[in-house]
Amino acid sequence: MQTPVTTYLDDIYECCLDNRSGERADYIRELAEADPEPFAIALCTPDGTQYSAGDALREFTIQSISKPFAYALALRDRGFEAVNAAVDVEPSGDAFNEISLDEHTGRPENPMINIGALTTHALIGGPDASAAQRSALIVEGLSQFAGRELTVDEGACASELEDAWRNLALAALMRAAGKIEDDPDDVVLGYTRQCAVRVTVHDLSVMGMTLARGGVNPLTQERVVSPEIAQQVMAVMTSCGMYDAAGDWLSHVGIPAKSGVSGGILGALPGQVGIGTFSPRLDAFGNSVRGVQAFEQMSKDMGMHMMAIPAPTINAIGQHCRTADGSKLVALQGVLDFPTAEMALRRFAQIPPGSDDVIIDLTLVPSIAQAGAKMLLTGMRSLTAEGHGIVIVDPHQRLTAGEDQVTGLRRLDSRPRGALTAAEAPTG
Ligand code: GLU
């Protein structure tokens, strides 16, 4: 059987295909002359499964969609403090090629507009990187996000450089303000090459999924950036990724995204899916018309809006009882995040001080979120402070860090013999 996801994507493709409104970008010769007809959609799931519809193997230049990834690489190479000192994270409310600077600090408003992207570009590779090294590092970094070796469309790069005066002026302004230290010519050349990297919608979906998985590529399993960087990049994409339509996009689509003038859109829904679309005709804001339509439809049909209310939390306490040897058993179930860990802590708080063991069974816990782990460890520490011994039953190794914070913690792969049936008396 063909999975219904393929049929669903085909339906979305068919429904958007007839929409021929919008215009190609006209300020870069190669883009003005590009075939306006191609259209493609691709999805990538957390385990690296890929789906597509349309012309999914066609390559196009990544353009502005490179910006969030260059920002990620700058954060990787220079750290949050240095990058934040150079570029702000505020939506500009201006066109992508405006001189949008914070009036107090003089920093570019964000890394998704050209003046901010030129500045982040110059930070990649550290202070000693030459322009050529930086350029190579960017192609390598983008390739790590895509999980395959990407190449530069030198023709597209040359065509944009014929008329890159505005970007040169922006880079020169940043050099004059001391925000970049390199020769503005080198920065514009490197940045334009960065924008001319060739990708397909498959690549975009994998790059999006790499961010959405917290920095780990779903195809190669390589960690490209830290979870903190991936989160920061998706946050800035959410507020600034869709040109001057970011607010509209957030309310109608609600998927962190970035679009580019060649007609691509990349989406990254945390933990769930990476999405790539390509169609060259753009709306008045510079976003691909069919791409926006496809994203709107998918978000609506699949409840992909990041603010969609998740399914109700299940009761985290599967079972609590006293075992044959007098220990207390608390069996947890479901994903352990803030609300479920709070339930567990409330249950722990009902256990009176004493020297008996408390057995915490994690067998039915599929994963533990950061908040859940912190709260669980705190709860276990409180129980030991009240005299209890702690035993965790953790056959799937869900609790991976912080055990050393709990004195005398013991681990078991299965419940101890005689520990329980649902009918046993509840603990006091
Ligand atoms: N290379 C393009 C420029 O700098 C990218 C713009 C975009 O995609 O928004 O003008």
Where a domain ends, among 302, 325, 358? 302
Bridge partners for 286 per DSSP: none
Within a domain: residue 42?
A: yes
Determine the structural domain holding residue 208 and report its residue range: 4-302
Distance from C-alpha of 78 to C-alpha of 326, rounded to nearest angstrom: 55
Within a domain: residue 124?
A: yes
Within a domain: residue 425?
A: no
- Token digits for 168? 């040169």
Condensed to tens digits (0 to 9), the pLDDT of residues 122-140 reads 999 988 999 999 999 999 9
Residues in the chain: 428
Say which amino acid occupies 421. T
> DSSP class of residue 288?
B
Angle at 283 between CA 278 and CA 285, to 5 degrees: 105
How confident is residue 420, by pLDDT bands cut at 50, 70 and 90?
Answer: low
Q: Which pairing describes strands 410-412 and 389-393: parallel, antiparallel, or unpaired?
A: parallel
Ligand 1 pocket test target in 26, 60, 62, 63 with most atoms within 8 Å of CB: 63
Domain count, the chain: 2
Q: Quick one: 244 and 368 in the same domain?
A: no
Within a domain: residue 96?
A: yes
Residue whose C-alpha is closest to residue 187's, from 74, 100, 19, 285:
74
Ligand 1: lining residues by beta carbon, under 6 Å: 63-64, 96-97, 114, 160, 167, 195, 260-261
Quote the ligand 1 centre to 356 CA distance (angstroms). Answer: 65
Q: Is 274 in a helix, a strand, or coil?
A: strand
Condensed to tens digits (0 to 9), the pLDDT of residues 257-289 reads 999 999 999 999 999 999 999 999 999 999 999
Where a domain ends, among 302, 335, 366? 302
- Token digits for 218? 């779903």
- Mean pLDDT over each residue of the chain, to the nearest integer: 94
Condensed to tens digits (0 to 9), the pLDDT of residues 87-119 reads 999 998 888 889 999 888 999 999 999 999 999
- Token digits for 291? 């791409």
Catalytic residue flag (residue 261): yes
Q: What is the CA radius of gyration of the chain?
A: 26
Nearest CA to ligand 1 atom 7: 64
Catalytic residue flag (residue 51): no
At 390, give phi and psi (nearest 5°). -115, 130
Condensed to tens digits (0 to 9), the pLDDT of residues 34-74 reads 999 999 999 999 999 999 999 999 999 999 999 999 999 99
Distance from C-alpha of 194 to C-alpha of 182, rounded to nearest angstrom: 16
Residues whose CB is less than 8 angstroms from the CB of residue 132 and which lie 6 or more positions away in sequence, other chains included: none
Q: What confidence score (pLDDT) does residue 19 get? A: 97
Q: Quick one: 236 and 324 in the same domain?
A: no
Within a domain: residue 417?
A: no
Residue whose C-alpha is closest to residue 358's, from 382, 328, 385:
328
Within a domain: residue 368?
A: yes
Quote the ligand 1 centre to 214 CA distance (angstroms). Answer: 26
Within a domain: residue 312?
A: no
Say which amino acid occupies 222. E
Among 67, 179, 258, 328, the one annotated catalytic: 67
pLDDT above 90 covers what percent of the chain? 84
The DSSP element (H or E) to which 229 belongs, if any, is helix 227-240
Within a domain: residue 108?
A: yes
Query: What CATH number did the domain enclosing 332 receive?
Result: 3.30.750.24
Ligand 1 pocket test target in 66, 92, 138, 261 with most atoms within 8 Å of CB: 261
Q: Quick one: 291 and 343 in the same domain?
A: no
Residue 424 predicted with pLDDT over 50? no
Catalytic residue flag (residue 64): yes
